[in-house]
């Protein structure tokens, strides 16, 4: 019901505002706050174009439904990389000419300034985020977990575990916990035996798992004491720990990092304004500013040196970014190509596994 309400609200806003206003669909929580502060407000101040913001659990899902129904009420949406590739291949997104993107302050062309692969036919990346696991420090004061294998060790680290109700990320973490090196993950997961191995590892903790759907849930599960550890997006845990003072700590070992960014749905009602928004918000300074609101790394090289303190005025953001060198040990780059190719079959297998005893 929450998703339907938010989307219908977005649609009604677009219907009753001037054509220059744009509707932007995001993920909610601290992530949307970072975008509102770093992107939406400065864009409106610069252009006079109002940004109407709405949130949902995964913007790719309603975008696909809107375009296929021929009833598009969103101009720009934030989606993860694999979804952007899939939606683009299906002809559901507008292509974005990279020539419109501003160069770096030193004149470096945008395509040379962005990380490799960060700009595609239909996507301009806004951040590098990470799927990690985190724990409540009060639960393990003497011997805290330090590796992804510890997340699956119920004997040494008792307590329930929070995991996203999806195979993406979950299967990779299971294999890393079972001893598969990051470089070999997708080779192993691309075989029937590898898939069986991942689910066998998940079987070892299945009875203790609390499944979550929305990004705001993991820190709440920790805060409520419903889980001792949880898989989460790193920015959510950072926000809870630093902004709210929660005793939560991220374990970076086994992190899965990936890109996400802006797409424009095919048939967006305000295409010209949407392109201006994408152009403005993916310049060097706005991307750096966003990283001061949430601990996601900027996808432009020129942005990284500009990232300063968090909004508390004292926390240096560098060590909290997924792209920090210290946090990249035993990390995995999510394979967008793998999930574009295998998403349907692994989701079916995952659903069948969840339904089994």
As averages over each run of 10 residues, the pLDDT of the chain (357 residues) reads: 33 41 94 95 97 95 97 97 94 98 97 94 96 97 97 97 97 98 97 98 98 95 98 93 94 96 98 98 97 93 92 91 87 90 95 93
Who's near 162: CB < 8 A, 6+ residues apart? 209, 210, 211, 212, 217, 218, 221, 222, 226, 227, 229, 230, 231, 232
Predicted local distance difference test score (pLDDT) of residue 29: 85
Report pLDDT for 83.
Answer: 92
pLDDT at 52: 97
Burial of 71 (0-12, 13-18, 19+ CB in 10 A): exposed
C-alpha distances in Å from residue 160, one per residue of 42, 239, 251, 320: 42, 22, 17, 26
CA dihedral 115, 35, 279, 258 (to 10 degrees): 20
The C-alpha atoms of residue 357 and residue 39 are separated, in whole angstroms, by 46
Q: Three-class SS of residue 341? A: helix
Residues 46 and 284: their CA atoms lie apart, in Å, by 16
Cα 175 to Cα 287: distance, rounded to the nearest angstrom: 33
Map out the domains of the chain with their CATH numbers. Answer: 2-128+259-315 (3.40.190.10), 129-255+328-355 (3.40.190.10)
274-285 pLDDT, tens digit per residue, is: 999 999 999 999
CB 284 within 8 A of CB 105: yes
């Amino acid at each position: 019901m929450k998703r339907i309400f938010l989307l219908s609200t977005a649609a009604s806003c677009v219907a009753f505002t001037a054509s220059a206003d744009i509707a932007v669909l995001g993920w909610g929580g601290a992530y949307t706050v970072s975008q509102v502060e770093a992107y939406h407000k400065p864009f409106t101040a610069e252009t006079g174009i109002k940004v109407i913001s709405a949130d949902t659990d995964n913007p790719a899902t309603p975008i696909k439904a809107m375009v296929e129904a021929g009833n598009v009420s969103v101009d720009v949406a934030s989606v993860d990389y694999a979804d952007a590739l899939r939606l683009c291949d299906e002809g559901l997104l507008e292509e974005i000419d990279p020539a419109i993107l501003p160069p770096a302050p030193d004149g470096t062309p945008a395509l040379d300034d962005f990380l490799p692969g960060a700009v595609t036919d239909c996507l301009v990346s806004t951040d590098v985020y990470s799927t990690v696991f985190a724990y409540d420090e009060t639960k393990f004061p003497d011997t805290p977990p330090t590796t992804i294998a510890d997340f699956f060790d119920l004997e040494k680290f008792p307590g329930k575990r929070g995991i996203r109700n999806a195979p993406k990320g979950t299967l990779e973490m299971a294999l890393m916990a079972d001893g598969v090196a990051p470089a070999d993950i997708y080779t192993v997961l691309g075989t029937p035996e590898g898939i069986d191995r991942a689910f066998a590892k998940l079987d070892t903790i299945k009875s203790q798992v609390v499944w979550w759907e929305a990004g705001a849930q993991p820190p709440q599960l920790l805060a409520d004491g419903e889980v001792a550890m949880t898989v989460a997006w790193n920015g959510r845990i950072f926000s809870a720990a630093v902004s709210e003072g929660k005793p939560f700590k991220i374990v970076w070992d086994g992190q899965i990092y990936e890109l996400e960014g802006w797409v424009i749905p095919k048939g967006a009602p305000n295409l010209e304004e949407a392109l201006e928004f994408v152009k403005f918000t993916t310049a060097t300074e706005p991307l750096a500013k966003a990283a001061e609101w949430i601990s996601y790394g900027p996808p432009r090289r020129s942005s990284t040196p500009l990232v300063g303190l968090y909004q508390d005025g004292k926390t240096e953001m560098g060590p909290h970014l997924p792209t920090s060198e210290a946090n990249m040990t035993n990390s995995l780059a999510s394979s967008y190509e793998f999930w574009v190719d295998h998403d349907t079959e692994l989701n079916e297998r995952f659903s069948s596994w969840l339904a089994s005893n």
